[in-house]
Amino acid sequence: LEDLATLLQHGDAVVCNAGTILLDALVNDRPSVCVLYDEGAPPGESWAAKNVIGEHYRELAESGAFATAESFEGVVAGIDRALANPSELTEERRRAVRNVVGEVDGHAAERVVEAIVSAV
């Protein structure tokens, strides 16, 4: 996890599928490219695209906080865009983090403990 945190804090961009790593990238204000295609999948199949249509991911997918890529060329274009203008989607990333993740202040563990203690 320490290596992952370091990469997220210092990398120029993140390329990933629709998963929790995308949330981590947005929390760290990293320009991101979400891959929405499956290389080598049977014709008509796209598990990657299905990841973003679920109710649990819809708000993030609609946030506009990251580029999407439906082909390898789209990945390259997304990376080029992120490197050329890393602050382009900063406000969208902040809004998505606020709406989907909540407060990011380093005190989440304390809030979890408080919630557990008050529930017991």
Gap between the Cα atoms of 80 and 114, Å rounded: 44
Q: Which residue has the higher pLDDT, 14 or 41?
A: 14
Mean of the pLDDT values across residues 18-29?
A: 93
User: Which structure tokens are listed for 98?
Assistant: 């606020």
Kindly report, residue by residue over 2-21, the tens digit of the pLDDT: 898 899 999 999 999 988 89
For the beta carbon of residue 70, count every other beta carbon within 10 angstroms.
13
Q: Could you tell me what percent of the chain has a pLDDT over 70?
A: 100
The domain total for the chain is 1
Q: Which domain holds residue 49?
A: 2-119
Is the pLDDT at 56 greater than 80, yes or no? no
